Amino acid sequence: MSRIETRARPILDPLIRGHAPPTLTNNNQRRLALWVCLRAYIVEASTPRGHNDYSTHDERIAFAADNQKIPPENAVVWLVMLPDSLASSAYNRLQPVIKDESKSEALQAYTCFIGKVGFQLVQWKGAGLNRETLINDRGLSRTWQGRCIEIWPNHLAYPRKLPRTLTLSEVMAFVKRFHISDLQAPEFLQ
């Protein structure tokens, strides 16, 4: 955990303040994506009993053993810049697992805001789910251009510029991209 945090800090600290990092190279994007995956595992492990865990013990062990290389292959991570009005807030939201037992498919989304930067991680399991179906089915590549960048696995799209700052209504839409209707928006966005 400490190594992931230490390697992400030089890139993450300027983003938290709303500044461009030294450079958003493909290696720096990978480091941020690993940090987001780590945060999601920590939040998942700290949820109250009764939460329907997405990851298994073996998957968490595999991540810990391979954490200096790449995020899990079944993960997509996005980065957004947040407005000044949210710069003093921190937010973590782990969407409950969406499962289709008949197809052995599952999906989990994790959203994290810290300072002026936000991240979203989506992980999936099952033969019918993959990056292309998730992005195309939700129109994510079209509707979020310029407002959100995919830092994993599309981290090789280089050079990478930071997206424009979201408005409050766009922040709400970002949170709800993988929203389940019975969940409420965070209080600070209402």
Q: C-alpha angle with apex 188: 92 to 77, nearest 5 degrees?
A: 35
**Rounded Cα gap, residues 160 and 134, in angstroms:** 22
CA distances from 137 to 83, 111, 129, 142, 182 (A): 28, 19, 11, 11, 21
Tokens for 158, please give them.
């280089």
In this predicted structure, what is the pLDDT of residue 67?
60
* pLDDT per position as a tens digit, 107-141: 888 999 999 999 999 888 877 777 776 666 555 65
**Residue 110 within any structural domain of the chain:** yes
Tokens for 76, please give them.
């997509």
Tokens for 18, please give them.
């709303």
**Residue 147 within any structural domain of the chain:** yes
Q: What is the count of structural domains for the chain?
A: 1
Q: Give the Cβ contact number of residue 115 at 10 Å.
A: 18
For CA atoms 42, 23, 25, 110, give the dihedral sign: positive
Tokens for 24, please give them.
């958003």
**Residue 165 within any structural domain of the chain:** yes
Interaxial angle between packed helices 57-66 and 26-45, expressed in degrees from 0 to 180 and rounded to the nearest 10: 150
Q: Please state the pTM of the whole predicted model.
A: 0.85
**Residue 55 within any structural domain of the chain:** yes
**Residue 11 within any structural domain of the chain:** yes
In this predicted structure, what is the pLDDT of residue 120?
93
* pLDDT per position as a tens digit, 44-101: 877 776 566 778 778 888 888 876 678 888 889 999 999 999 888 788 887 766 667 6
Determine whether 93 is exposed, middle or buried from the number of CB atoms within 10 Å of its CB (0-12, 13-18, 19+): middle
Q: State the pLDDT confidence band at 157, using cuts at 50, 70 and 90.
A: low
What percentage of residues in the chain have a pLDDT greater than 70?
Answer: 77
Of the two residues 32 and 24, the one the predictor is more confident about is 32
Boundaries of domain holding 162? 2-178
**Residue 120 within any structural domain of the chain:** yes
Q: Which of 74, 81, 71 is nearest to 30 (CA)?
A: 71
Q: State the pLDDT confidence band at 15, using cuts at 50, 70 and 90.
A: very high
For residue 2, the SS3 value is helix
